[in-house]
Amino acid sequence: MAVGSALELAPLDFSFSELLGRGALRETKTMARDFIVAALALGFGLATLAIRVVQPDAFAKLAPLRKRFGAGLGTAIHWLAYTIMPLVAGAAMLARALSVDN
């Protein structure tokens, strides 16, 4: 190629140790960790949802919440803390783990 040509390649300005030390490898580890935590949160939320459908009185912490806050509010707090929040947090973490520009 002629010097000054538009197709001339620029020299690489990084070393492989820099690439492995910070950047691509770290982002891959972070993505894997986020994906694992998201999968656990989603699994927990889905498991509690399934247990609520099959056997609603199987939760040990539901009775004390109902006793302290009343049946309606105690059940709502338990739904929020053990089903809804893990599902929402897991979905948000999964979206972050799968996003291209974390």
Q: Distance (Å, rounded) from C-alpha 91 to C-alpha 42?
A: 7
In a domain? residue 51? yes
Q: Distance (Å, rounded) from C-alpha 81 to C-alpha 77?
A: 6
In a domain? residue 42? yes
Confidence at 49, pLDDT banded by 50, 70, 90: very high
Mean pLDDT of 54-79: 91
On whether the CB atoms of residues 86 and 39 are closer than 8 A, the answer is no
> Based on the structure, what is the number of domains in the chain?
1
pLDDT at 18 over 70: no
Mean pLDDT of 87-91: 94
In a domain? residue 14? no
Higher pLDDT, residue 10 or 30:
30
Q: Distance (Å, rounded) from C-alpha 66 to C-alpha 60?
A: 11
pLDDT at 4 over 80: no
**Residues spanned by the domain of 86:** 32-98
